[in-house]
Structure 1
Amino acid sequence: MLIREAVADDWPRIWPFWHRIVAAAETYAWDPDTSEEAARALWMGPGKRVYVAEDGFGAVVGSAYVTPNYGGPAAGIANAAFMVDPGQGGRGIGRALAEHVLTAARAAGFRAMVFNAVVETNPAVRLWTSLGFTVLGTVPDAFEHPRDGLVGLHVMYRAL
């Protein structure tokens, strides 16, 4: 698997799984009806370093970005988001992207990373805790999960 910085031409290969994941409304607090144009701005907008994971055949199977979570004196705290094509799960792509982004964030001078809204039922919570993230708190009943009803949103943190 190759992880590299994304280029504009990667978006058409990210959009199909981005749309599928967000439309499922199970793991992201973004509008399931987000248009492709708005999605591109959310994922690849200014200030974000975007990465893609390619399989051995050159297919984009995942993507992630890192960006400052705050501005001004708190700009040393990063935020990131990760998506793996649902048809490619269980192959270590999410972990590889996470490790890559953590290394890139540290190299860029970020002191820590925070996730603002991790759906507590998201299987990725296990991945984040295995990589040293802790749950700072949970906003109860903040997310309307299509199967589980109202569930909490974790705020997760890790020093870099």
Structure 2
Amino acid sequence: MSKKSLLVLSLLFFAYIGILFSERNGVNLNWGLVKIALNFTFLVAMIYYLYGFFKLSPGQTYTRKFVPILFIVALIAGTQFVAYFIKTDGGKTIFIRKEYQSPKQKQLLLIFRDSSFKLLNIEGRTGTYYRGQALLTSKTILLKSSQTLPQLLFDLNLPNP
């Protein structure tokens, strides 16, 4: 892999990670489209290097050809790892996941095992995350947050403890 290819792939990786961190407090449809384009670019690069792997030039070894493929796989795995950590607020286990969707609005509520919650409220092309503590009783959930929460639009049928 040339230094130029290495630099381009590294920049794509850091751009993707930057987008993931910028979406920690809210989402935007435009950034979602950019993430899809970056994933497609990684896929094309992987196909290109796989093709090059099987087309061996004189004087090259499979070991030397295998390094770019490992680098691309490591970049893809790294982005998925960071995406998982951001989605679960640091690797927390999701206890309850509820979702509501209408043509104009979407809400996603994640309640974690440590009694914290993350609520995503999307209206139009952008959305905001709300975080706080959740108090679970037998029939109700009390959400405490420093932010003013939007009206919840879904029915919460709690699992049996």
Which has the larger strand fraction?
A: 1
Structure with greater proportional helix content? 2
Q: Larger Cα Rg: Structure 1 or Structure 2?
A: 2
TM-score (norm 1): 0.29
